[in-house]
Structure 1
Amino acid sequence: MAAPIRFYLDFASPYAYFAAGRLRALAEAHGRALDIRPVILWAVLKAQGIGDPMGSDARKAYMLADMERSADFFGVPFRFPDAFRISTHRAARLFHAVAADRPEIAEALATTLLESFFVRGENIAAPEEVAAVRAVTGLDGAAITALIEGPVGRDRLEATVRAAIDDGVVGSPFILVEGEGFFGADRLPQIEWRLGRIEDPRGRRS
């Protein structure tokens, strides 16, 4: 069986949101599972010796404009969240805790968290307060908080951050295809090309 496509992301990354739908479709088209791995991006970048991606006024202005353009390009709804730069550790812990026990809803939860933040502008720093999160998990706020604060989500998030560092993650989204890394939503055409070459090294789809 073909190896899963490994998808590292931070839930506060607009480019992860832009990439997610098309990456899922690519995985399905090539008969591969999508291994979704939320991380805390600042912790990964710090370990890699990489500074703040929006650390200069010029780069910040460019990226903000590019986010609007990229949303138009990918054809997805998008709004700038009121609190754009948030810590997503609680959302990531929740994902990992849910994925450990109910993997069948993990992808739906990831989609819900991304859309809650980048479409509806909801505060995913407090996922227990987001109605769509409660709906997809079937849990009330107290149960969600218990998962966030429990050991499973904490431990799995810490392990995923360590794995991301070892895998050479340098941003979000970062996608691994058979060990080869691709950084950014704009790498999707190269990922499709690489998957085709893996399936037929002569450059023909079988």
Structure 2
Amino acid sequence: MSLSFDLFWSFRSPYSYLVTPRIAELVRDFDVTCNVRIVYPIAVRQADFFANADPLWVFYLMRDTYRTAEFLGLPYRWPNPDPVYRDPATGTYPAEQPHIHRLSHLGVAAAERGRGLAFIEAVSALIWNGATDNWHEGSHLAEAAARAGLDLAEMDAAVAADTAQFVAAVEANQIDQRKGGHYGVPLMVVEGEPFFGQDRFDQLVWRLEKKGMVRR
């Protein structure tokens, strides 16, 4: 019987972007299923998180993400625009956000259509690889969705028709994320065992192999 794991994932997380190609390769090569569970970023779930963080937290994150991308051979740049809007005057994250809710709900829609992993791989590359400014404009998102085998207009329409359903799905994912053992992303959970962070990918593979994962 095929193994599976949950992947709790955010469009604003650089580490989520950095681990996604390896997870996609794992699923392509091995008999294992990845259940994509989209959550809102910590800046949306807990708006004062960064205000209360030690300044070294952000300094290290920026240094480490660029280093990790270089180590992995992945193109990387902080997105323009940031998926989560920060008010430059106050340094706070307002409740009304121009991008992250749409992205998150589209991620839920993609997962419902069985293309969640393909969608987050294509869209996170668009947002984070530095090749495209203003990734939210024009046909960029539609083309990324098409690469994942999806119709962006159809998904946008589905979200608009019942937004509350998609909000509830994200919130349910966030509850299950904490039940899985952590509040951060990327978080991979295998039969109740949490693996937090892109640097736990090798241990995730090791655990899956111990549970009998085989090549396709």
Residues in 2 aligned to 1:55 and 1:44: alpha-carbon distance in whole angstroms: 15
Q: Given the alignment of the two structures, is residue 159 of structure 1 paired with residue 150 of structure 2, yes or no?
A: no
Corresponding residue for residue 96 of structure 1? 108
- Deviation, 1:111, is 1.2
- Deviation, 1:94, is 1.1
Q: Given the alignment of the two structures, is residue 182 of structure 1 paired with residue 195 of structure 2, yes or no?
A: yes
Q: Given the alignment of the two structures, is residue 145 of structure 1 paired with residue 156 of structure 2, yes or no?
A: yes
Say whether the 8 Å CA contact 1:79–1:118 is kept in structure 2.
yes
- Deviation, 1:183, is 0.6
**Deviation digits for residues 47-82 of structure 1, max 9, x if unmatched?**
xxx944992322211110111100011111111113
Say whether the 8 Å CA contact 1:10–1:40 is kept in structure 2.
yes
The 1:164/1:44 distance shift into structure 2, 3 A limit, reads farther
Corresponding residue for residue 141 of structure 2? 130
- Deviation, 1:27, is 3.8
Q: Which amino acid is the alignment partner of residue 106 of structure 1?
A: G
Q: Given the alignment of the two structures, is residue 34 of structure 1 paired with residue 46 of structure 2, yes or no?
A: no
Secondary structure of the residue aligned to 2:60 is helix
Structure 1: gaps (5+ residues): 201-206
Secondary structure of the residue aligned to 1:4 is strand
Residues in 2 aligned to 1:124 and 1:97: alpha-carbon distance in whole angstroms: 19
Of Structure 1 and Structure 2, which has the larger fraction of its residues in helix?
1
The 1:92/1:85 distance shift into structure 2, 3 A limit, reads closer
Residues in 2 aligned to 1:132 and 1:78: alpha-carbon distance in whole angstroms: 20
Q: Given the alignment of the two structures, is residue 63 of structure 1 paired with residue 48 of structure 2, yes or no?
A: no
Where has structure 1 moved over 4 Å in runs of 4 or more?
43-46, 121-129
The 1:31/1:145 distance shift into structure 2, 3 A limit, reads closer
- Deviation, 1:127, is 9.8
Secondary structure of the residue aligned to 1:82 is coil
Secondary structure of the residue aligned to 2:185 is coil
Say whether the 8 Å CA contact 1:27–1:33 is kept in structure 2.
yes
Say whether the 8 Å CA contact 2:5–2:188 is kept in structure 1.
yes
Structure 2: gaps (5+ residues): 85-96
What is the aligned counterpart of 1:78 among 76, 79, 82?
76
Say whether the 8 Å CA contact 2:19–2:201 is kept in structure 1.
yes
Relative to the length of structure 1, the TM-score reads 0.78
Secondary structure of the residue aligned to 1:66 is helix
Say whether the 8 Å CA contact 1:15–1:184 is kept in structure 2.
yes
Give aligned pairs, total.
194
**Deviation digits for residues 115-166 of structure 1, max 9, x if unmatched?**
11101345567898734245342344xx443333332423322222222232
Residues in 1 aligned to 2:175 and 2:72: alpha-carbon distance in whole angstroms: 31
Percent of aligned pairs with the same amino acid: 26
The 1:184/1:43 distance shift into structure 2, 3 A limit, reads same
- Deviation, 1:169, is 2.8
